[in-house]
Amino acid sequence: MNTTERPQGVVAAADIRIGTGRSRRFVGAEHDADISYFFVENQPGEGPGLHWHPYSETWVVLEGTVRITRGDETFLAGEGHTATVAPFVPHGFVNAGTGLLRILCIHASATIIQTFLDED
């Protein structure tokens, strides 16, 4: 198969890349899927500010160490760990390691709805 030809339902990383970085944003509704996700690659100290969603979110740590804030608790998760957050609970994360953090942030929604706390 020609690498420029993809079957329906296959999305190239370059097509969902965020800016010039390596992180990606997949919105399920655009691809006939019931979930959405961010595939994040962050350098040490990088991560999104506190925010919430009207649906649950699941994180799968693929590489590195992440410090997750979920409601009133903060904890570390490492490679292979999975963590979740319930709908409407403020949360955020930051790369707490010395190398690259790769984390898959799965949104239980066909669209991504985020409200950052500094926007409330």
At residue 4, the pLDDT reads: 64
Q: Which CATH class is domain 15-119?
A: mainly beta
Task: Work out the mean pLDDT of the chain and round it to a whole number.
Answer: 94
At residue 7, the pLDDT reads: 84
Average pLDDT over residues 47-64: 97
Percent pLDDT > 70 in the chain is 95
pTM to 2 decimals?
Answer: 0.90
At residue 102, the pLDDT reads: 98
Contacts of residue 42, defined as CB under 8 A and 6 or more positions apart, other chains included, come to 23, 94, 95, 100, 101, 103
**How do residues 56-105 score in pLDDT, each as one tens digit?**
999 999 999 999 999 999 999 999 999 999 999 999 999 999 999 999 99
Alpha-carbon gap, residue 48 to 2, rounded angstroms: 37
Closest by CA to 102, choosing from 61, 47, 44, is: 61
The owner of tokens 């409200």 is 115
